């Protein structure tokens, strides 16, 4: 069964620091990859997604992610974080063409200190 693993459970950064959150998935076939964000007290919102094409995808609020097929990874990056980026971040994957099932990672809590 496919699974998603996020390596960092809790990350604390100062404003302007660079961010990289790791995400690895286990599935040998074609996948769609997503990063969702959940701000405190709010529901999940899509940050970015990868379906095909350029493996470097750009999302909202200055986030980007790189799909490295050989490493089964889809790491999220941001060059300079802001206090407003404090949130929980989830990596997710759908696999196979006949299902819309999203499999989520455990989530990473990001705390940005002002």
Partner 1 sequence: NAGVTQTPKFQVLKTGQSMTLQCAQDMNHEYMSWYRQDPGMGLRLIHYSVGAGITDQGEVPNGYNVSRSTTEDFPLRLLSAAPSQTSVYFCASSLGQGWVNEQFFGPGTRLTVL
Contacts with partner 1, residue ranges (CB under 8 A): 4, 6, 9, 32, 34, 36, 42-46, 49, 51, 90, 92, 94, 96-107
- Element holding 37 (H helix, E strand): strand 31-38
Q: How far is the CB of 96 from partner 1 (least distance, A)?
A: 8
β-pair partners for 1: none
Shorter beta-carbon distance to partner 1: residue 16 or 60: 60
Shorter beta-carbon distance to partner 1: residue 42 or 70: 42
β-pair partners for 103: 93
Q: How far is the CB of 78 from partner 1 (least distance, A)?
A: 20
Residue 74: half-sphere exposure toward Cβ, Cα within 13 Å: 29
Q: How far is the CB of 32 from partner 1 (least distance, A)?
A: 7
d(CA 95, CA 53): 17
Q: How far is the CB of 114 from partner 1 (least distance, A)?
A: 25
Task: Yes or no: say if 29 and 2 are a contact pair by the CB < 8 Å rule.
Answer: no
Shorter beta-carbon distance to partner 1: residue 13 or 103: 103
Tokens of 79: 């060059």
Shorter beta-carbon distance to partner 1: residue 6 or 73: 6
Cα angle 91, 16, 36 (rounded to 5 degrees) comes to: 15
């Amino acid at each position: 069964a496919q699974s998603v693993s996020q390596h960092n459970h809790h990350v604390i950064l100062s404003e302007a620091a660079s961010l990289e959150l790791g995400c690895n998935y286990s599935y040998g076939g074609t996948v769609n990859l997503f990063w969702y964000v959940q701000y405190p007290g709010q529901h999940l919102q899509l940050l970015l997604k990868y379906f095909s094409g350029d493996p470097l995808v750009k999302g909202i609020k200055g986030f980007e992610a790189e799909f490295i097929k050989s490493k089964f990874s889809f790491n999220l990056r941001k060059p300079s974080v802001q206090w407003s980026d404090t949130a929980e971040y989830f990596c997710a994957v759908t696999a196979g063409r006949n299902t819309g099932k999203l499999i989520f990672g455990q989530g990473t809590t990001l705390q940005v200190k002002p």
